Structure 1
């Protein structure tokens, strides 16, 4: 049994920054699982990909992962076109979901396999039946969102969020979250804010805060997911919250200082 299962996308990503494009193997399930595995926790992405990414599962970077909860469908894989501004802020996302449209059904079949489940509340997953099943099973879980769909996803999942061990957000998502769910109803919330300090709230009160070290930015895709995976791994191992938060920010800083896992672009 893997200790951590991460329900979400594995995708082909085009990261568009002013003046350059990068073609990457991406998806929240991938980056969170990799970060958790590098931090010492057995981690399994729970995803549905197409045949076009089947060979990518043999990349040496993925040998740390339990890949047995990834299904391969006879469709193109999910793909995202991510647009960033000059400061590295995500300003637009275009998506083609492809095989990932099957993710909700697939995820529900694999919940029993994990000690802790992290749910990436991002389309095309329907997180409501997944969270409902986790609450009914009294199974430990955590969640995160992405800015492009955070308002809709937080509204849909609000009844379940007080049961989450951790809700992972950025500063914009935190404002939406606490507008939908009273802060004192939330057990733990991490909040990142780019180069500014990361904060952990418990029931609306600051429990830990840590600075973010400056770094030369090469690629920001996956930085938030790396933070999340590292924080989850640390807390699953019983690391004190302030140290867990510090490890997470350090891992995210290392992530933005590298180019990520490069893929060849798909043929037209």
Structure 2
């Protein structure tokens, strides 16, 4: 059985997409534009929220659209656009805080197909965080093997296969852009009659960021209460998946010395 473990720590409501770098462009100031005086405007590619409630990253409009994002409101005092990126089958992007989604999400689909969604990694990215809204695929057999539907990652060795039903949790992948500059998510579904869909927010984490999880940690919790949920923890039955090799890590909080 794939147990849901509850212990006392509080999860933050959303993981912030922390920038590895910033955008810049040349703009004329309003006061001086008629005498052709220009200045360089720099701003951080920080997290923002669009009207739909989805998270985005503050980019220039040109950078956003170039990498497949959609402008969803302004940011950086109007110099940037809140770029929300939703990636479908066969697409790729370098935008941070990208949502990889099943065909026509939130609709379900019922067919055999192979769906590859690709994230181009920034050169200084060491980890990728997956915030899973839901992954709903045909579940494993009693041995935990994904013989029907399966999700595989092109980098990281913590999971050789993923299937079943997983909702509202997170995972970390260790990646190395010097080995491959991309991270592929390959969803393969078979002809089994089943209502499938998925949405995962993918956030790149730079090597020098404090938000990095310790290497080898598939999940990393940084507050004082909450719930640990693994892959297929909402499956019926919730069989533990085979081919898993990762640690669940808890950061020691100030003035604490144990977990209950």
TM-score, structure 1 as length reference:
0.26
Name the structure where helix makes up a greater proportion of residues: 1
Between 1 and 2, higher relative CO (CA 8 Å, sep ≥ 6) is seen in 2
Question: Under a length normalisation based on structure 2, what TM-score does the superposition of the two structures give?
Answer: 0.26
